[in-house]
Amino acid sequence: MSEEAKKSGANTMWGGRFSSSPSALMEAINASIDFDKRLASEDIQGSIAHSAMLAKRGIIAESDRDAIQQGLQRVLGEIESGSFTFSTALEDIHMNVESRLREIAGDPAARLHTARSRNDQVAVDVRLWVRNAHDRADEQITNLIKVLLDKAEQHAGTVMPGFTHLQGAQPVTFGHHLMAYVEMFGRDRGRFRDSRVRLNESPLGAGALAGTSFPIDRHMTAKALGFDGPTRNSLDSVSDRDSLLEFMSAAAICAVHLSRLAEEIVIWMSAPFGFVRLPDRWTTGSSMMPQKRNPDAAELVRGKTGRIFGSLMSLLTVMKGLPLAYAKDTQEDKEPLFDAADTLEIVLAAMTGMVQDLEPVPGRMAAVAGAGYSTATDLADWLVRSLNIPFRDAHHITGRIVSEAEKRGTSLEDLALDVMQAVEPKIHKGIYEVLSVENSVRSRTSFGGTSPVRVTEQIAWWRERV
């Protein structure tokens, strides 16, 4: 076989657009600039803090520091204006910035990387980025909670059916139902805040894995970057990605709650329910059926949940088998992080808008709330409370009364007193005080219950906390 044929055969093994040489494939698999350029601001922020510390400790001259910082500001301006040219050959955001800085500042730029490795550099960059992502999520969840509180307050007394197994159970209020999601999103906000506290330590200064022999001040750089202090173990500092995993874990749980609410909106908008309406900006029509109004925004919130789950599982899989300290595998942390953060941001914004514009249909809700003998539990409770009948016996009596109502095709509220007395003679007309859905809802006054009084208390409690 000729040398050309051998080369051709070898190149074919690399496949596709990388057939020119193994080095092209290595460059493609190794380069991260296409996605880690999103860390440009954080990278420059970390470098400014590092250069300031180096000068303060006498490791570099103040004139070098000034040249470095002026050059970094110019690089940042070029990136923000879109005039910066990113190079795949330079692999990542760190080398792209440093190369351009060298062109601008000359020799002083070569002193910037003193007492620093790309390992601790990327660790601090991504930690700064994910800290900001925590703050954005916190703000968006707070806005969603506020919108839910406003809507719940408007409908604290609006009756709707409550469900278990998606079967009519007991009447509740729409406000109470929305407040259940306030609780969920409140926990989500708490998870992001807890995670932020844990991540707020600076890995800068850990070096490649063992620290450095230069007399650096890690507390100074930590403070300059808004961290509570430096991390305490250099090995863990460069290899840890817990802050990303915690962010994506919190995002995944939040996405579950968003998806559940989205699913309910889809169900509520369907013709058999007809509980709510959404304006055209949150729905689409059909290319074939002119009568359709599809809740596409809610469906997409529900669907995009899978992307966040996938991002979390991707990074968990990357991290699960890595020995200490740094390994190039962790380059795979950024794309799932960015995608999860971007996805969470858009679905939170969409859900906030939908809740704000959501209009319930109280008449339809009330009609369904009264169907299916939803006040049967109220009847049983009344037998216990008013006639001192043991609950198990009251449960049996109620079942027989419901059966009589079904035979007559009537509601419990409209069932004749003598029919109920035929089942239990001690029943008197006071029973009718609890058989309407409105009275049922008002009677649920236990702490956390659906009574409008309790719902109003829940809203007030949450307003103090948002």
- pLDDT, one tens digit per residue, over 206-260 is 999 999 999 999 999 999 999 999 999 999 999 999 999 999 999 999 999 999 9
pLDDT confidence bin for 12, thresholds 50/70/90: very low
Choosing from 63, 286, 403, 428, which is the catalytic residue?
Answer: 286
- pLDDT above 80 for 21: no
User: What pLDDT is attached to residue 174?
Assistant: 97
Choosing from 81, 165, 213, 287, which is the catalytic residue?
Answer: 165
Higher-confidence position of 182 and 7: 182
In the annotation, is 286 catalytic?
Answer: yes
- pLDDT above 50 for 158: yes
User: What pLDDT is attached to residue 19?
Assistant: 56
Round to whole Å and give the CA distance between 455 and 153.
8
The DSSP result for 88-105, as a single string, is GGG-SHHHHHHHHHHHHH
Lowest mean pLDDT among 266-280, 327-341, 410-424: 410-424
Round to whole Å and give the CA distance between 96 and 87.
7
User: What pLDDT is attached to residue 329?
Assistant: 95
DSSP 226: T
Higher-confidence position of 242 and 370: 242
Question: Which residue stretches of 200-270 are H helix?
Answer: 218-224, 234-239, 242-269
Round to whole Å and give the CA distance between 423 and 354.
48
- pLDDT above 90 for 365: yes
pLDDT confidence bin for 412, thresholds 50/70/90: confident
